[in-house]
């Protein structure tokens, strides 16, 4: 099924824009709109602010006390351990220790994700590397070949890091939209993984029979 989406104009937050805790304004990068969720942890002895959940496009993805856009539209978050992490390939990754601002990691520019997207109907499948699927997160296609008939699963042209290894991404032979618009991938070890809250998670046994379940 061909990828389908409705394009919209996005105004990105300029480099140097900072947002603090729940009182801070939303930030916008190529990945989408960043907002604050509820309190995650009270203020430590070395900081005046508590730490809050960080949300991307309404989904909980991490925690932090302060968020900053910098170095070409990248999103960074200050952590309870006083480290800075940045959002790369749909995953927060370590950038620098301490300091009032993150250091430049030299990362490539983030993708430009211009939703909202019209998801493929539940039950729609593709066999990699042919075709594409759409979920609320964006357009799924196949990337580079790994071994045999396995190909990396790309979201909006990006290879989301595969938790918990966080190195190679997830590769498989088939992708399916099911369970109310979630993306499932069948990998070489015979398991299915589901992409939720921007990470890959092992799908429960008999997941296909949960197609009417609300995640």
CA 169 remoteness from chain centre: 12
Highest mean pLDDT among 61-65, 69-73, 145-149 belongs to 69-73
Mean pLDDT of 184-204: 88
* Torsion angle of C-alpha atoms 34, 92, 163, 81, degrees rounded to 10: -120
- Position 166 scores a pLDDT of 43
Residues 6+ apart with CB under 8 A from 189: none
Per-residue model confidence as pLDDT tens digits over 128-143: 999 999 999 999 999 8
Integer CA distances (angstroms), 203 to 85, 187, 209, in order: 28, 11, 12
pTM of the model: 0.84
Confidence check: pLDDT of 114 > 50: yes
For β-strands 66-70 and 74-78, DSSP reports them as antiparallel
Using pLDDT thresholds of 50, 70 and 90, give the confidence band for residue 117: very high
Residue 164, preceding peptide bond in cis (omega within 30° of 0): yes
CATH numbers and ranges of domains, the chain = 18-97 (no CATH), 125-210 (2.40.10)
Confidence check: pLDDT of 210 > 70: no
Confidence check: pLDDT of 106 > 70: yes
Work out the percent of the chain whose per-residue pLDDT is above 70.
87
Confidence check: pLDDT of 8 > 70: no
Confidence check: pLDDT of 10 > 90: no
- Position 4 scores a pLDDT of 45
């Amino acid at each position: 099924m061909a990828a389908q989406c409705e394009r919209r104009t996005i105004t990105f937050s300029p480099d140097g824009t900072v947002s603090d805790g729940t009182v801070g304004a939303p930030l916008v990068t190529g990945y989408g709109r960043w907002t604050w969720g509820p309190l995650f942890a009270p203020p430590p002895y070395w900081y005046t602010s508590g730490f809050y959940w960080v949300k991307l496009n309404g989904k909980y993805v991490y925690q932090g006390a302060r968020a900053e856009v910098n170095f070409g539209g990248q999103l960074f978050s200050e952590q309870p351990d006083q480290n800075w992490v940045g959002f790369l390939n749909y995953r927060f990754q370590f950038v620098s220790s301490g300091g009032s601002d993150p250091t430049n990691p030299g990362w490539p520019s983030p993708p430009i994700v211009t939703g909202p997207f019209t998801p493929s109907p539940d039950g729609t499948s593709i066999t990699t590397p042919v075709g594409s699927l759409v979920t609320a997160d964006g357009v799924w296609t196949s990337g580079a070949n790994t071994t045999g008939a396995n190909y990396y699963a790309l979201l909006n042209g990006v290879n989301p890091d595969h938790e918990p290894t966080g190195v190679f991404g997830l590769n498989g032979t088939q992708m399916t939209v099911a369970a109310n618009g979630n993306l499932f991938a069948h990998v070489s070890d015979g398991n299915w993984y589901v992409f939720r809250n921007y990470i890959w998670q092992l799908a429960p046994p008999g997941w296909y029979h949960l197609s009417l379940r609300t995640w």
